[in-house]
Structure 1
Amino acid sequence: MNTGKEIETSRLWLRPGKNERDSSPFLLMLRNDGDFQQYCGARFSEENLSRFANYFERVNDEMCMYSLFLKTDAETFIGYVGFHREGDGTFELEFYIAKEYRRNGYCEEACRAVIGQLFGEGLSVNGKLLSENELYATTLAENEPTLGLLKKLGFTQHMTEDGATEVMQIVVDLETGKWEGIHTTKKILKKEQCLQKSDFGDIIPQNNQCNE
C-alpha cells in the first residue's frame, strides 16, 4: 500500500489512499456513475460493486494509490490515480475520476505527478522506495477518452514479436452467471521517453531528463 507523502500539483492534493477515509465516497461515486464497465470490465451490479470495498489498502498486493482532492475543496474525494504490480512483475497505471469532474484535465495532471515521481526519486510502497523504468496501461479498445489520455501522457502501443498487444478477455457476471468477451489493448510508457520537465511536473529534475 501507499506509505508515502502527499503530492501537490497546481490544482490538486494527492493523498495516500486510505480505506477508512476513501472507501465510502469511492463506492458512492461508482454507484452514482451507474455503469463502470469501461473501468473494470464488468457491468454494474451490487455484487461487482462490493469487490471495490477495500480498494485502497488491498492485502498481498504491491500497489500505490493516491486519492484526489481539489485544492478549492480539500474534503471532497473526486477520484484516484496509482499503479499496481501485475502477475508478470510489470506495473500498471490505473485511475478513475467521478463523472462531474471529468474533462477538466484533473486526471492528466494527477497521472503526470505520479508518473514523474515513480520515474524520478521513487514512491513509497509498504515502507520501501520503489522506482521503475516503465509503466503499462490496459483499457478497453473502444474506450476513446482513456486512449486519448494515455496518448497525451506519452503511452504508445505495446508491441511483441507477434505484434500489438490486444486481448479478448472473458468476463463473467457474478449475479447472472452470463459471460461476454471484451477487447482490451495494452500501452507502454518508458522512463527514457520523459525528456521534458514540463511533461511530468516539477518532480522531474531541472536538467529536463529523467533520473538515471
Structure 2
Amino acid sequence: MTSKDQAVSENQALPVIVTERLTLRGRTPDDAEALFPAMSDPGIMTWWSRAPFADPRELREDFGLEKTGSWRTWAILETRSRHAIGFVSVGSKRQGVSEIGYLLSREAQGRGIGREAVAAVIGQLFAEGQRRVFADTDPDNRGSIALLESLGFRLEGHLRGEWHTHIGIRDSLIFGLLASEWHG
C-alpha cells in the first residue's frame, strides 16, 4: 500500500459524525472537485500557508497525500447533499494534544456550519481521550478567531514572524481548549 493509499484509507476509516444539519466523513480525493472553487478562491485561501490551488488535479493529488498519517480530515456535507462544502483537519502533535484546522466554501459561510462542524470534531477528540486541542490562526483572520472564541478557546500566545506564506511573513495566534473546559 502506498502512502497515498494509506492516507485515503485512514480518512475513509474515520468515524462518521452526524449533527443536526451535517454529516462529517473521511475526506477523499473525490472531494477535490466540490472543494476546488473554495480552495482556488484567493479570498478563502488568504489565511492558509499556501497559495490558492490553480488546478483541480493538483488539489485531488493533495487530498490523496494527507500529511504523513498524523493528520485526519473530515469532509463536511450538509445532510441532504453528497457534495463536500468544507473540511475539518486534525493533526496529532503529541500524546493527548491535537491541532485543528478548517475551511468552508463561500456558500457555507455565515450560517453556523463551521461552528457546528468544528464543535462536532472537538467533541469526538475529547471522547477519544485528547486532553487539549489548539488552533494556529493569523491575527487578521477575524472569522476564525470569532469561531474559536465562541467554542471556548483561549488565546495562549502570539508568535511573531512565525509563517512565511503566499501573502508574506505572518504572525500567528495560538488558541487552546482543554477537555476540562469543553462544554459541548
How does the TM-score come out when normalised to structure 2? 0.81
- When you count helix as a share of all residues, which structure comes out higher? 2
Aligned-residue offset at 1:6: 1.1
Indicate yes or no: 2:177 matched with 1:189: yes
**1:23–1:56 contact (8 Å) kept in structure 2:** no
2:3 maps to which residue? none
Q: Work out which of the two has the higher radius of gyration on C-alpha atoms and give 1 or 2.
A: 1
What stretches of structure 2 of length at least 5 have no aligned partner?
1-9
Unaligned regions of 5+ residues in structure 1, if any? 123-130, 159-163, 174-178, 201-212
Which whole-Å CA distance do the structure 2 matches of 1:56 and 1:156 have between them? 33
Q: What number of residue pairs does the alignment pair up?
A: 172
Distance of aligned partners of 1:59 and 1:137 in 2 relative to their CA distance in 1, 3 Å threshold: closer
The corresponding residue for 2:154 is: 156
Moved over 6 A (4+): none
The residue type paired with residue 161 of structure 2 is M
Alignment of 1:64 with 2:72, yes or no, is: yes
* Offset, 1:87: 8.1
Distance 2:136 2:54 in 1: 24
| Structure 2: distance between partners of 1:56 and 1:67 | 13
Does residue 27 in structure 1 map to residue 36 in structure 2? yes
The answer on whether the counterparts of 1:6 and 1:15 sit within 8 Å (CA) in structure 2 is: yes
The CA distance in 2 between the partners of 1:67 and 1:14, in whole Å, is 5
> C-alpha deviations, 1:118-169, integer Å up to 9, x for none?
101x2xxxxxxxx3100110010111110000000111012xxxxx332313
Tell me: CA distance 1:170–1:118, structure 2 relative to 1, closer, same or farther (3 Å).
Answer: closer
How far did residue 75 of structure 1 move?
1.3
CA contact (8 A) 2:76 2:85 kept: yes
* Distance in 2 of aligned mates of 1:192 and 1:88: 16
Conservation of the 8 A alpha-carbon contact between 2:88 and 2:118: yes
CA contact (8 A) 1:94 1:137 kept: yes
Q: Please tell me whether the aligned partners of residues 93 and 135 of structure 1 are also in contact (alpha carbons under 8 angstroms).
A: yes
% identity of equivalent residues: 20
Deviations 1:172-206 (CA, angstroms, capped at 9, x unpaired): 65xxxxx8211111110100102x3xxx2xxxxxx
Q: 1:8 aligns with which of 7, 13, 18?
A: 18
Gap change, CA 1:91 and 1:58, over 3 Å in 2: same
Gap change, CA 1:80 and 1:136, over 3 Å in 2? same
